[in-house]
Amino acid sequence: MIRWARFSARFALIVSLFGVLLPAFPQEPKPAARSVPPVGQTPGNQSSEGNQDTPVYIPDDRPLTGAQDQSIGSPEVRHSYWVPGAQVLASGTSNPWIATTYLVGDLSVLQSWKTAQFTLNYSGGGVFSSDSSLGNTYMQQLGVTQTVRLGRWQFTLIDQFAYLPESQFGFAEGTGIQNPGVGGPASVPQPGIGNGYVPSQSVFAPSGSRYSNSAIVQANYVISARDSVTATASYALLRFVEGGNVDNDQMNFSLGYNHALTPRDTIGISYHFAPFRFPGDPQAFDDHTVQVAYSHKITGKLASQLSAGPDVTEYRIPVNGQTSRVSVSASAGLYYVVPKGNVSLSYSHGVAGGSGVFKGGELDQVTATLSHRLSRLWNGGVYGGYARNQDSFNAFPTSTTSPTSASSFNSGFAGAGLTRPLARTLSLTINYSAFVESSNQAGSSTTVRHTVSVGLQWFARPFVLH
């Protein structure tokens, strides 16, 4: 499996770079012809020289009922570019005390045409740990997005891959390596996939490395100035290198209708069919949801969305004498730019793959971040997340089972960090995180661990593609 993970990441990276980007690379890359603010500067905030640099934002055109979360838009860029970077992060974790060092190389690419755009974010490198059970391993993350407009049609292709030594939920949050690619003012937009299209990993208990991948194909057809129809198909997988964990495959087929009430407000309705499969296990289930959605967006300032609706789950093998269950699925998201910072919140409730501990499960998950410019040089941030995974096989009452007896895991993390530019393309990060997990399974106990880390992030000036 390790060989397969390594091959998949390298193959995706090589195909993306050489198949799409190589013809556009100049023989001798030139620095990008645009102003790049110092590392750590939030768009629209005062730079270290006291100049105001407020970018012009291009409105978000993602369909409300599609696979991607709504956004405030993206800063206008005069040139396509690519930019390399590197990071080193040293961390210490308690319970028991473990020292871990990450040496990571980064690459981000933004290639724009008149009717298309390609983005790539990649990070990969070595992980060196004093934990004998983990040892020396590696990590890789890749996010690729291609959008094409043809008349009334908009096509979107997305692939998101990760090979990590631990759960992706809260992984290296606040340190700069939690997302692929180069951070700071030279960053390239991430795919921004919604929770329903990625395999859940919100339980810390499964040990060892694991790899996940989400591939999405989406088509949006504009009927009129206010109306559009969106069709999406996706396939996601989660595989663990170590035995004893539950692998899963997840598909999603959806059809949605979007209607713009005003330039800022949109409503929609969608149907989702999501089959869940567990390799080597005969059990499987199909999930059907209908959701009504609403979004309110102010370009460059605010993006919010809400969705909810009935959820029907059908089991291949009857569970406690039942072949189906009815519940509710819901999600909410908010991203708001405040003076000298921003706030983001997200929440989701519904059926998920079980996070490696269950063969399917009911998941409640919430995350929040707050960033703020503390001074001319220092940026600060706080963050947190909580997830409750419940065994869907026992998540409803029967003659012998009550909802309170269902096996469950409660996982949470919280932390804070500081970032300071040391040079125009170099920054320092200092971070603290706490992780807590409890379970009602027999013999389980609450585990708590603390992590303190210090890191350096570097990136080159962007190089122009055209």
Q: 356-380, pLDDT tens digit by residue? A: 999 988 999 999 999 999 999 999 9
Per-residue pLDDT, 303? 97
- The Cα–Cα gap between 333 and 349 comes to 12
- The Cα–Cα gap between 104 and 102 comes to 6
pLDDT of 224-233, one tens digit each? 999 999 999 9
3-state secondary structure of 209: coil
- The Cα–Cα gap between 278 and 283 comes to 7
Per-residue pLDDT, 399? 42
Domains located in the chain, CATH noted: 2-464 (2.40.160)
Q: Is the pLDDT score of 409 beyond 90?
A: yes
Determine how β-strand 463-464 pairs with β-strand 30-31: antiparallel
Residues with Cβ within 8 Å of 410's Cβ and at least 6 positions away in sequence, in order, are: 386, 387, 388, 437, 438, 439
Amino acid found at 186: A
DSSP states of 157-172 as a string?
Answer: EEEEEEEESS-STTTT
Q: Is the pLDDT score of 222 beyond 70?
A: yes
Q: Is the pLDDT score of 405 beyond 70?
A: no
Determine how β-strand 265-277 pairs with β-strand 30-31: unpaired
Determine how β-strand 463-464 pairs with β-strand 81-93: antiparallel
In percent, how much of the chain has pLDDT > 70?
Answer: 86
pLDDT band at 332; cut points 50, 70, 90? very high
pLDDT band at 46; cut points 50, 70, 90? very low
- Looking at residue 262, the DSSP 8-state letter turns out to be S
Per-residue pLDDT, 97? 87
pLDDT of 162-174, one tens digit each? 999 999 999 999 8
DSSP states of 39-81 as a string?
Answer: TTPPTTSB-TTS-B--PPEEPP---TTSSBPP-S-EE--SS-E
More confident residue, 35 or 427: 427
3-state secondary structure of 66: coil
Question: Global pTM?
Answer: 0.86
Q: Is the pLDDT score of 347 beyond 80?
A: yes
Per-residue pLDDT, 384? 97
Q: Is the pLDDT score of 47 beyond 80?
A: no
User: What is the average pLDDT score of the chain?
Assistant: 86
Q: Is the pLDDT score of 35 beyond 70?
A: no
- Selection from 152, 58, 67, 145 nearest residue 110 by Cα: 145
Per-residue pLDDT, 40? 34
Query: Average of pLDDT values for 406-422?
Result: 94
In percent, how much of the chain has pLDDT > 90?
Answer: 72
